[in-house]
Amino acid sequence: MRSWLKKRVLVLLLVFTGLSVLPSYMWAYSLSGASAAPAILLGDTVIVNHAAYDLRLPYSRIALFRTGSPQRGELVQAYLPSHIGLGIKRVIAYPAKPS
């Protein structure tokens, strides 16, 4: 009986921990612009994985390590230069490497 209870408590603890950390990495956004068309249309909702390129402490901006970098053709979330906020953009080029 005790081992059954211990297993259930452990499983519930793991599920609770996973569900409490998941919102810090996966966010849903509704698009208000058509810059990602035709792949994503105006008003569509997308789920953004904030751990795709670097792993951070949950609910903070402290980066632990990089997990990758954006590739050409991928959609990324970026701060817009006009200080409007965040936007979804497609990667079309990389900066030139110094020679």
Residue 34 has what pLDDT?
A: 67
* pLDDT digits 0-9 by tens, 25-73: 788 877 776 666 677 777 788 888 888 888 888 878 788 888 888 888 8
Q: Which residues contact 64 (CB under 8 A, 6 or more apart)?
A: 54, 55, 56, 57
pLDDT in the model for residue 4: 79
Listed residue (48, 42, 56, 95) closest to 76, CA to CA: 48
* Rounded-to-integer distance, Cα 33 and Cα 86, Å: 11
Output the CA angle 8-10-16, nearest 5 degrees: 100
Rounded to two decimals, what is the model's pTM? 0.60
- Select from 52, 49, 50 the least CA-distant residue to 67: 52
